[in-house]
Amino acid sequence: MEHFMEAKRRIIFPLDFQDLETALSWVELLKEYVGMFKIGLELFVKYGPKAIEEVRKKTDLPIFLDLKLCDIPNTVSQAVKSAKALDVDFITIHTLSGRHALKSAVEAAQEKPKILAVTILTSLDKADLLELGFNGEYIRETEELVLRYALLASQCGCAGVVVSGKEIKRIKENLPKLLTVVPGIRLESQDTQDQLRTATPAEAILSGADYLVIGRPIRLSEEPVKTCNIIIQEIERALGLLRCSKKA
């Protein structure tokens, strides 16, 4: 049971629905099988704080407010203070908002919500970065750019970063205490669709991921609870391998 709870704690389920009732039905269905619920732009833009309030009525699991704030320091700071009043556990700030905005967010949050810095969206590849004006080593090695953003986040006091499964190992080697939240998680048989830098649950955990954002593999399943249990078992096995490697 202890290993089950540890594995399930790693799973973040995104409530990416336009209808609040639908989102709440998923909270009811999965609250015993995931460790956190994520409320993003799709739900928050339509319902605002009500979305958080209604999810809170269904579960006491942590809530991750994923707004990817990117603005001037004062605006970011005030937005984090507003999120703090909503009692959310995590909130995202884009690293492209810069050092001063990241520091302002951390200062406004104090201990809660934990600030997660978004690095490079998992929908972007080298061609996208080139189009956006990046060049040189950052085009050849996306990991270098992500690590640079992670270093900035760490220096500013952020609790963690949002990164793809391809960059976790490098970040953990350099910044072992920085939390890593990994979207773009797919099961072996699934189409990656608009996520380009993806990983399986086991790959991400073995690389050092702390949390996995898993939406479509569960949401599109004919048996979501069964799929959750399969993912939990995969995470359990990966965590077991990590424990064995540390003992060796």
Tell me if residue 117 falls in helix, strand or coil. Answer: strand
Q: How far apart are CA 198 and CA 165, in angstroms?
A: 6
2-9 and 224-247 helices, crossing angle to 10°: 110
Structural contact between residues 60 and 29, judged by C-beta atoms closer than 8 angstroms: no
Structural contact between residues 205 and 3, judged by C-beta atoms closer than 8 angstroms: no
* One-letter amino acid for residue 38 of the chain: K
Instruction: Tell me the two tokens of residue 2.
Output: 């202890």
From the CB of residue 24, how many other CB atoms can be counted at a distance below 10 Å?
18
Tell me if residue 31 falls in helix, strand or coil. Answer: coil
Note if 57 is an active site residue.
no
**Torsion angle, alpha carbons of 29, 235, 61, 71, to 10:** -110
Instruction: Tell me the two tokens of residue 167.
Output: 């960059």
The one catalytic residue in 46, 50, 58, 68 is 68
Structural contact between residues 48 and 217, judged by C-beta atoms closer than 8 angstroms: no
* CA end-to-end span of the chain: 24
Q: Give me the sign of the Cα torsion angle 139, 214, 234, 240.
A: positive
Which are the catalytic amino acids?
68
